[in-house]
Amino acid sequence: MQQDMLMDWAVEDVSEDGAAVVEQRVERIVMQNKAGAGQEFKYDSDSEDPPAGMAALVAPAFDAMVAHPFQMTMLPTGEITEVTLSDELSKALDNLPGGAVSSDMIKQMSQQASLKFPTEPLAVGDKWTTTAEVTSPAIGKMKVHTTYTYDGVREVDGKTYEAFTPAIEMELGENKGPMAIDFDTKESTGEILFDREKGRVFRSRVLQTVDIRVKMGENEIVNSMKQAVEMRELGKDETPTLGAPAEEEAEVDTETDSEGQGRTVVVDDRLVAIFLVSGEYRAIDDLCPHQGASLGAGCVEDGEVYCPWHGWRFRLSDGKWADNPRLGIDVFETR
């Protein structure tokens, strides 16, 4: 899944203690996922064509994010202490079926994404860690620990920036759902360039590889997730290009079939997840329409496959989304 966002920040007020009230406006959102014929997810807030399928389901929330800016309070250290959403935006997010995102999650993620500096002067090699708590309806409470290392100054295109390396660790709390989920961070690196003159981040890139362990009953699945999050300041006269295709990787699970465990195969240029359930094979679209995870790496319980990333459930009998049966994905006959 690739998501591009064009955002604008404006400082509305600065208090005597240096705390700034900042308005964040989302100008445009483009989301797309292509994984074979018939499996496309596409949304563009600037498009005049109405979104279809799962994109139509999440469109009201994204439309509201574009239509309604929100405010945040930022301290001189960079810490975001308060995020205020409009009633319209909060309602649109909280009404999104399946717990994909909520107003509280947006607030928590905004605070977690901020670069918080220590109050003491920094020397090259100094490290410090910040912790933020994020609550997801699908996986419960999660703590995100970010450790920053100060690397000194770096020159880019004739301008000097302060450089930092971030490393992220995720810690899950007790999971009360049918699945036991755990994260194992295999790799976390990146670079943040801070413009001292302007007092803001010029560019950041965070790369992370995480093994997601999902256990349901006697079955345990390990799914490796790679993600890259990039943010950069646009030039004064620069026209952004959103929705440009990113490099894609496709992995196919070829392990021996076992009861309740799935694998992914390619059929006529299409990714299909196959499961052995009660001695019979069931086949369903491999792509989870939420964020593009492979359902073949998920677990099956009571005739439903659970997405290994966020726990979205789809019925193997007809492909319907368990939280909203009006929508669903394709199923296929097996023999």
Tens digits of residue pLDDT in 70-109: 999 999 999 998 899 989 888 888 776 655 567 777 777 7
Of 234, 249, 275, the one marking the end of a domain is 234
Is 53 part of any domain?
Answer: yes
Tens digits of residue pLDDT in 41-55: 788 999 998 887 777
Given a contact cutoff of 8 angstroms between Cβ atoms, the answer to whether 219 and 299 are in contact is yes
Round to whole Å and give the CA distance between 77 and 227: 27
- Which of the two residues, 288 and 195, has the higher pLDDT score? 195
219 pLDDT band, cuts 50/70/90, is low
**Average pLDDT for 292-319:** 83
Length of the chain in terms of residues written: 335
Tens digits of residue pLDDT in 2-40: 788 899 999 999 999 999 999 999 999 998 765 444 456
Is 248 part of any domain?
Answer: no
Same domain for 132 and 110: no
**Average pLDDT for 132-139:** 68
Residue 255 has pLDDT above 50, yes or no: no
291 pLDDT band, cuts 50/70/90, is low
Given a contact cutoff of 8 angstroms between Cβ atoms, the answer to whether 195 and 201 are in contact is yes
Structural domain including 270 reads 262-332
Of 84, 114, 144, the one marking the end of a domain is 114
Is 251 part of any domain?
Answer: no
Is 207 part of any domain?
Answer: yes
Is 59 part of any domain?
Answer: yes
Of 62, 87, 114, the one marking the end of a domain is 114
Q: Which residues pair with 80 in a beta bridge?
A: 74
- The structural domain count of the chain equals 3
Is 85 part of any domain?
Answer: yes
Same domain for 88 and 166: no
Is 242 part of any domain?
Answer: no
- Which of the two residues, 251 and 81, has the higher pLDDT score? 81
Same domain for 143 and 104: no
Given a contact cutoff of 8 angstroms between Cβ atoms, the answer to whether 58 and 96 are in contact is yes
49-54, Cβ contacts within 8 angstroms, sequence gap of 24 or more:
53/289, 53/327, 54/289, 54/290, 54/327
